[in-house]
Copies of this chain bind each other. A is one copy, B any other.
Amino acid sequence: MLFEKYQSVIEDAQHANQLRGFYSHYPEHPKAYGEDAMAKGEDAFKKLLNHPFEALLQEEATGWEGEEISPYTLENLGVTYPILPVGTLVSQSIRGAGQWSDTPVQERAALLVESLEKIKERFFEIAYATMHTTGQSFMMSFQASGPHAADRALEAIAMGFQELTRFPAEVNWTKPMGKSAITLEKTFRPMPKGTGVVIGCSTFPVWNSMPGIYADLVTGNPVIVKPHPGAVLPIAIVVAEIQKTLRENGQDPHLCQLAADTAGHLIAKKLCNHPLVKLIDYTGGTAFGNYVESIPDKTVFTEKAGVNSVILDSVENMRDVAENLAFSACLYSGQMCTAPQNFFIPASGVGTPQNNLSYEEVVAQIKEAVAALVSNPKMGAGTLGAIQNEKTLERAKAVTQEQTGIALQGDAVPNAAFTHARTFSPTLLETDAASHELYEQEFFGPVIVLIRTKDTAESVRLAKQMAEKHGAITCAAYTTRPDVMAVITREMNAVFAPVTFNLTGYIWVNQHAAFSDFHVTGGNPAGNAGFTDPMFVVNRFVWVGNRIMKTGV
């Protein structure tokens, strides 16, 4: 039995989910995976280029298409994927659904952990595929699409396992009736809702999709994985390994299919509206996210856009804070859903243990820290990575042309390893609290807005308003005053935005750790669900209780 092999992995993960302290099953350092793993991975990745991706076990392709372009080389990857009609995808998905649903949850969960172990063998290949589709640096590609994504998948498996085994499968219910009694034998079955669709984004094609994929599967549902046409390869490798594991264990590989499409013929809408599709996980822009949430009779989990704030009140050391924030904002050129965008700074400045730094000094230090990081030959290009697509680049460029109050002009940053890389460093805009229309927009990409406020109370009010109106996944706050910390916590939490206080050094607000941080609260417009709280799994199945008369009066 597969369960015995992975029982301790599942139990440890379940325990970690409960404790929410530090835990990881897959080491985040590439070195932990052996000396030659990186070179082998790069080699395997290169072999995939300019070929049809034939590792999938799914049938009935009507064509092969692919249009991924590396943000580092601006060249087409040349990989094509099977194209399947929506009707075919859905009907194939349910073919093995009965057997999957009837498989004991212990075996389902163990099979899914086994698939993660197979995926682990391809972490480096997936990393290169992520790098050359998303524009992330190699290190971020490796961590986000490799160990961090696998940990989040394991977290979803463990949370699902716990919920599915929460009630007894069978119980005798005996009601005393005076001198006699009535006994019913009751069974409780967690029934999967039906086929799921997981719609991926172009920037985190693996990390943002794996929780939904594994949550669907562990709760007994088939899943159709619809990647962004610009970032297919990394998740295609994941799907191929899941399919292989399914087949090896006597399950239908179509329980997890890849639904590749092209920019000219997008299928997400049709897929979501198929009557047999019951579950939808979506990561991406707000407009389509709101549309998906509005489709009747679907259970929908979304992560949409948001505007993340930084509230600067008082600090121990402004240079440390500026460096930490500069790194957060530069990381992957601000293309993270957790990246800070709006920095609220009081006109009266920011207090420190020594003195009060004026507003201008604070702005100058942030600007210097960003400029120093961008121009650092060892750090700059690697931290920024590349811009995933032309639109993001154009938006960043437009800011430098259209806006006034530019504190720091963004520009292309040379990348020694990739001379054609699509790069752009952060533009820092300076404005005041009155200019709502400017900082209410989400500038997805390398744009930071520094906002001069009357005082911290106004900063908090505006950050709260932004989170309530436009959503927020993170909020970074800096204060040395306990009463201010309490106010910021209360106000931001009231609009379901989590707050991270006083980060400096090698830890950044952008990071949400599996087994500890819930990613997206589900309470504001940034999304209606999060990785992986109980809601993320319990809404994928329903409890059905049957009763059989045993003895009566």
Interface residues, chain A, CB within 8 Å of chain B? Answer: 18-22, 163, 166-168, 171-177, 182, 184, 186, 188-189, 191, 193, 293-294, 296, 485, 489, 493-494, 496-507, 513, 516-518, 521-523, 530, 533-535, 538-539, 542-549, 552-553
Contacts and interface: CB of A to CB of B under 8 A. Distances in A.
Given A19-B168, A182-B506, A500-B547, 17 more contacts: A18-B167, A21-B171, A175-B507, A182-B505, A184-B507, A493-B546, A497-B544, A498-B546, A500-B546, A500-B548, A501-B546, A503-B547, A517-B547, A518-B545, A521-B544, A530-B543, A533-B543
A108 B175 CA distance: 31
A506 B553 contact: yes
Contacts of A499: 546-547
Q: How many copies does the complex hold?
A: 2
A500 to B, nearest CB: 4
29 contacts: A20-B168, A20-B171, A20-B188, A22-B173, A171-B516, A177-B506, A182-B505, A182-B506, A184-B500, A184-B507, A188-B518, A191-B493, A191-B521, A293-B296, A493-B544, A493-B546, A496-B544, A498-B544, A498-B545, A500-B546, A501-B546, A501-B547, A504-B549, A507-B549, A516-B545, A518-B545, A521-B544, A533-B538, A539-B539
A186 B20 contact: yes
Contact of A544 (B172, B296, B506, B523): B523
Given A193-B523, A499-B546, A21 B172 contact: yes
B294 A296 contact: yes
Contact of A502 (B21, B189, B534, B548): B548
A163 B498 contact: no
A498 B293 CA distance: 28
A174 B547 contact: no
A553 B507 CA distance: 9
B182 A552 contact: no
Contacts of A493: 189, 191, 544, 546
B504 A175 contact: no
A294 B535 CA distance: 20
Most chain B CB within 10 A, of A20, A294, A489, A517, is at A20
Nearest to A512: B545
Given A296-B294, A543-B530, A543-B533, A173 B506 contact: no
Nearest to A493: B544
